[in-house]
């Protein structure tokens, strides 16, 4: 893809770019299942995780290995000792001599962009502080494409819409496909005003509500996120909102036949276990789709070399 040199944020991509990545993921999905491939044989991926995110790291490692590539990683202990002495810029300029592509997760916002300035190989941002986490958004889109339909979607985003950047990034991406978005959150956790006006400016339908029950029966996708305790000044405030959007089997009475429920995982208790057995539950499939999507990104970045 012309210009696809690093994967830093979602905003840099057009609808066509996203579609090409999703198509590529569809093409490679079979290698995430039974079939074997040596497409990336001889290539080395380095994972640099300055904060732990085992799932994301495993998903990248799986994607690389299933395409025949190798993985080296700095385990978090080494990384944290490096963090004290060595700058990220220096670490990048060492590791880019060993690897053909680097996956980076770092607590500082903008670190992936800075790493890209110093790196001679592609950087994939696997989360920078409260900043971007673009590969999560891509796998969310891929999941919707595979089990629902991206075009003209009715979707409800529920939970922490204030701090949850995953949700912001997803909402921006969905706006490229003309979605109708319902924002469901307690008052304290509403989506920031500037994001809402950005989304409206893109010409998509937005509505806000506090009541999940009132929208359950009208949507094709229900995207649930965690409400994180550390966002609240005290336990009492947290408890007031923590349990409000618990999805249970009973709540699914009368929903659309094609409704799918998504969650970036891990869940705490936002979704009751009895939902897992319903046809609506797609969150484990969603986790699996992280592999073909990351395969697509790796192969596109490495082929572009």
Partner 1 sequence: MREKDVRVLPIRNGTVIDHITAGQALNVLKILGITDKSNSVVSVAMNVPSSVIGTKDIVKVEDRELIEDEVNRISLISPKATINIIRGYEVVMKHRVELPARVDGVVKCVNPNCISNTSEPVVSKFLVSGKPVMLRCAYCDYVISENIAAHLI
Question: Considering beta carbons, is residue 131 or 292 the nearer one to partner 1?
Answer: 131
Q: Quick one: which of 117, 218, 269, 274 contacts partner 1 (CB under 8 A)?
A: 117
Please tell me whether residue 204 adopts helix, strand or coil conformation.
coil
Question: Considering beta carbons, is residue 42 or 110 the nearer one to partner 1?
Answer: 110
Binding mask 90-109 for partner 1 (x = CB under 8 A): ----------------xxxx
Q: Which stretch binds partner 1 (CB under 8 A): 45-53, 73-81, 123-131, 286-294?
A: 123-131
Token code pair at residue 132: 């971007």
Name the packing angle between helices 54-66 and 283-303 (round to 10°): 60
Q: How far is the CB of 37 from partner 1 (least distance, A)?
A: 36
Token code pair at residue 67: 């395409």
- Asked if 69 is part of the footprint of partner 1 (rule: CB under 8 A), the reply reads no
Q: How far is the CB of 111 from partner 1 (least distance, A)?
A: 5
Please tell me whether residue 31 adopts helix, strand or coil conformation.
helix
Token code pair at residue 281: 């539950």
Token code pair at residue 198: 């950005």
Do 237 and 243 form a contact (C-beta atoms < 8 A)? no
Nearest-angstrom CA–CA distance, 170 and 49: 23
Question: Considering beta carbons, is residue 130 or 304 the nearer one to partner 1?
Answer: 130
Q: How far is the CB of 2 from partner 1 (least distance, A)?
A: 22
Name the packing angle between helices 165-175 and 134-147 (round to 10°): 50
- DSSP label of 148: S
- Asked if 114 is part of the footprint of partner 1 (rule: CB under 8 A), the reply reads yes
- Asked if 176 is part of the footprint of partner 1 (rule: CB under 8 A), the reply reads no
Q: How far is the CB of 103 from partner 1 (least distance, A)?
A: 17
Q: Residue 18's Cα: distance from chain center in Å?
A: 14
- Asked if 110 is part of the footprint of partner 1 (rule: CB under 8 A), the reply reads yes
Catalytic residues: 55-56, 84, 105, 133
Token code pair at residue 259: 């409704």
- Asked if 129 is part of the footprint of partner 1 (rule: CB under 8 A), the reply reads yes
Q: Which of 122, 110, 31, 111 is nearest to 79 (CA)?
A: 111
Q: Quick one: which of 5, 113, 190, 202 contacts partner 1 (CB under 8 A)?
A: 113
Q: How far is the CB of 233 from partner 1 (least distance, A)?
A: 19
Q: Quick one: which of 7, 40, 48, 88 contacts partner 1 (CB under 8 A)?
A: 88
| Measured CA distances, 138 to 16, 22, 278 (Å) | 13, 8, 25
Number of residues that bind partner 1 (CB under 8 A): 17
Tell me which residues touch partner 1 (CB under 8 A): 9, 87-89, 106-111, 113-114, 117, 128-131
């Amino acid at each position: 893809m012309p210009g696809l040199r690093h994967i830093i944020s979602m905003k840099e991509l057009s609808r066509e770019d996203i579609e090409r990545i999703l198509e590529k993921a569809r093409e490679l999905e079979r290698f995430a299942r039974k079939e074997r491939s040596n497409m990336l044989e001889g290539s080395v991926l380095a994972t640099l995780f300055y904060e732990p995110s085992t799932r994301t790291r495993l998903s990248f490692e799986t994607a690389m290995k299933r395409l025949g590539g190798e993985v080296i990683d700095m385990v978090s202990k080494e990384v944290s000792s490096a963090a004290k002495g060595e700058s990220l810029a220096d670490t990048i300029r060492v590791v880019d001599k060993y690897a053909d592509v680097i996956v980076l997760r770092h607590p500082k916002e903008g670190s992936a962009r800075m790493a890209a300035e110093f790196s001679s190989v592609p950087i994939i941002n696997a989360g920078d502080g409260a900043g971007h986490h673009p590969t999560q958004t891509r796998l969310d889109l891929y999941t919707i494409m595979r089990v629902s339909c991206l075009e003209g979607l009715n979707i409800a985003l529920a939970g922490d819409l204030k701090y949850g950047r995953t949700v912001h990034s997803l909402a921006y991406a969905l706006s490229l496909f003309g979605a109708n978005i319902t924002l469901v959150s307690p008052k304290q956790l509403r989506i920031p005003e500037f994001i809402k006006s950005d989304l409206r400016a893109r010409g998509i339908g937005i509505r806000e509500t506090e009541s999940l029950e009132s929208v359950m029966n009208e949507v094709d996708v229900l995207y649930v996120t965690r409400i994180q305790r550390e966002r609240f000044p005290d336990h009492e405030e947290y408890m007031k909102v923590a349990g409000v959007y618990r999805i249970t089997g009973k709540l699914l009475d009368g929903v659309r036949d094609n409704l799918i429920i998504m969650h970036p995982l891990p869940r705490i208790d936002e979704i009751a276990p009895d939902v897992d057995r319903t046809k609506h539950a797609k969150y484990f499939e969603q986790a699996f789709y992280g592999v073909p999507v990351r395969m697509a990104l790796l192969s596109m970045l490495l082929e572009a070399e």
